[in-house]
């Protein structure tokens, strides 16, 4: 994973700015860990964001980051799957941030 993006992602997860959800990237007020990454990509103009019936999509994706975000961040499918699993299995953002910092 690209170090600069990793540092931004870890900081964002630990910042308290984002509230956590599970099962979707974002529902508007809440984000999963990968949704936070997508939000960072959106803020940098990498991806489009839209809302449909209170579910946010990034380039049309609602459950996993679109390919453009993965390429921008330098995260592979395996890394994204592990983070998704951790998030949806109940790990909090701080625990996920530690995993990302040490393993991706």
Is the pLDDT at 54 greater than 90, yes or no?
A: no
Burial class (CB in 10 A: 0-12, 13-18, 19+), 84: buried
pTM over 0.95: yes
Confidence category of residue 53, pLDDT binned at 50, 70, 90: confident
Is the pLDDT at 84 greater than 90, yes or no?
A: yes
Q: Are 31 and 18 in contact (CB under 8 A)?
A: yes
Q: How large a percentage of the chain has pLDDT more than 70?
A: 100
Which residue ranges make up each domain of the chain? 3-97
Q: What is the mean pLDDT of the chain?
A: 96
CA-based end-to-end distance of the chain: 6
Q: Are 38 and 69 in contact (CB under 8 A)?
A: yes
Distance CA 93, CA 71 (A): 22
The confidence score (pLDDT) of residue 60 equals 95
Instruction: Give the residue, 52 or 1, on which the prediction is more confident.
Output: 1
């Amino acid at each position: 994973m690209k170090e600069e993006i990793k540092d931004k992602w870890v900081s964002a997860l630990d910042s308290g700015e984002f509230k956590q959800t599970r099962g979707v990237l974002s529902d508007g007020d809440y984000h999963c860990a990968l949704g936070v990454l997508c939000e960072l990509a959106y803020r940098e103009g990498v991806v489009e964001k839209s809302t449909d019936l209170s579910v946010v999509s990034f380039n049309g994706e609602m459950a996993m980051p679109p390919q453009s975000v993965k390429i921008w961040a330098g995260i592979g499918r395996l890394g994204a799957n592990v983070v998704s699993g951790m998030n949806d299995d109940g790990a909090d953002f701080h625990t996920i941030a530690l995993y990302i910092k040490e393993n991706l």
